Amino acid sequence: MTLHLSKYVSGGEIINTRNNSIHGYVALRGCDRPIVLQLTGNCSPDLVGRHLKFEAYSDPAIDPEPVTEEQMDELRLGWMQIGVPGEMTIAQYPRLYLEWHGQNGHTVIDLLHPLIEFVDPADDDIDDDADDTPTYDDLEEAEQEIAGMLDDAVDDEDMDVDSSWNSDSEAAEHDDEDPFGLFPPDLNASLGESTSPPWTSEPDEATLAQWKEWDEVFEGTRDVPLSSLFDPPIQLPPEEALSDQQVAELFNVILKQLALHNVAFHMCEHFTPRGGYQLLVNQILREYGIHPELPRIGYTMSFDTSEFCAECAADFDERYGAEQSDTTPEDLDFDTPPDDSSLDDPPF
Q: Which residues pair with 265 in a beta bridge?
A: 303
pLDDT score for 304: 96
Output the furthest CA–CA distance in the chain (Å, rounded). 93
Residues 184, 158: Cα–Cα separation, whole Å: 24
Q: Which DSSP helix (H) or strand (E) runs through 17?
A: strand 9-18
Averaged pLDDT, groups of 10, the chain, 348 residues long: 92 96 95 96 96 89 79 90 97 95 96 94 58 51 62 54 49 58 68 61 80 84 87 85 94 94 95 95 92 88 94 90 57 47 42
Whether the Cβ atoms of residue 39 and residue 100 lie closer than 8 Å to each other: yes
Phi, psi (5° rounding) for residue 212? Answer: -65, -40
Strands 263-266 and 301-304: what pairing?
Answer: parallel
DSSP letter, residue 292: T
**What are residue 55's DSSP bridge partners?**
11, 115
Give dist(CA 301, CA 12) in Å, integer: 25
The predicted model scores a pTM of 0.69
**Is the CB of residue 110 less than 8 Å from the CB of residue 95?**
yes
Question: In terms of C-beta density within 10 A (0-12 exposed, 13-18 middle, 19 or more buried), how is residue 14 classed?
Answer: buried
Q: How far apart are CA 86 and CA 203, in angstroms?
A: 44
